[in-house]
């Protein structure tokens, strides 16, 4: 099996498991190609190009939560926090069970100093199945191609999450 085919299959499995019910019942090859192209731009640090590709995909499929999440992450990497929040929010409106989207939005709220909303998203992540998210990340990390997977940069480790929550509680005065 070619490496690109293996990545595509892994991405599809990732999307099917994590984003079940994300507003799409299946993936067209063209959608997968568009997502992979956008993720490639993202991996190269070409956030404007990635955003343009995610937007084209969303124009075609406006209920594609994965694309909203990914575009939101690209916006956050550019420092465009308001657009990142808007895209994370849209992804959660489509599918409220996306614990990783709650985590990423919580981090943006934290950066903006909105600790209450950040804490609310931490709660949302836990209700959405945070343990399942970390368990899946652990399984993905063990794959031979894991560092090259397009979804790798969107994942957060348990330790990173614990550190973030600790800092959030300190900043909000809830660490007592």
The share of the chain scoring above pLDDT 90, in percent, equals: 33
Residue 153 sits in a domain of what CATH number? Answer: 1.25.40.10
Cα torsion through 86, 157, 165, 123, rounded to 10: 60
Distance CA 98, CA 112 (A): 22
Q: Which residue has the higher pLDDT, 136 or 171?
A: 171
Residue range of the domain that includes 26: 3-172
> What total of structural domains would you count in the chain?
1
Q: What is the pTM of this model?
A: 0.71
> Burial letters for 112-150: b for 16+ Cβ neighbours within 10 Å, e otherwise?
eebbebbbebbebbeebebeebbebbeebeeeeeeeebb
Residue 8 above 60 pLDDT?
no
pLDDT of residue 174: 75
Neighbours of 60 (CB within 10 A): 13
For residue range 59-110, list pLDDT tens digits in order: 999 999 999 999 999 999 999 999 999 999 999 999 998 888 998 898 899 8
């Amino acid at each position: 099996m070619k490496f690109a085919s293996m990545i595509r299959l892994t991405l599809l499995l990732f999307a099917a498991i994590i984003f079940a019910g994300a507003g799409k019942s299946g993936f067209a090859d063209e959608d997968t190609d568009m997502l992979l192209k956008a993720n490639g731009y993202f991996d190269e640090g070409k956030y404007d190009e990635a955003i343009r590709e995610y937007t084209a995909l969303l124009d075609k499929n406006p209920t594609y939560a994965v694309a909203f999440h990914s575009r939101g992450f690209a916006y956050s990497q550019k420092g465009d926090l308001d657009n990142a929040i808007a895209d994370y929010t849209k992804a959660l409106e489509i599918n409220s069970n996306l614990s990783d989207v709650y985590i990423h939005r919580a981090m943006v709220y934290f950066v903006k100093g909105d600790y209450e909303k950040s804490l609310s998203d931490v709660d949302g992540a836990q209700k959405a199945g945070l343990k399942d998210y970390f368990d899946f990340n652990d399984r993905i990390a063990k794959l031979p191609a894991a560092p090259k997977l397009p979804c790798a940069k969107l994942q957060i480790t348990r330790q990173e999450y614990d550190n973030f929550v600790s800092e959030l509680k300190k900043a909000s005065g809830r660490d007592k």
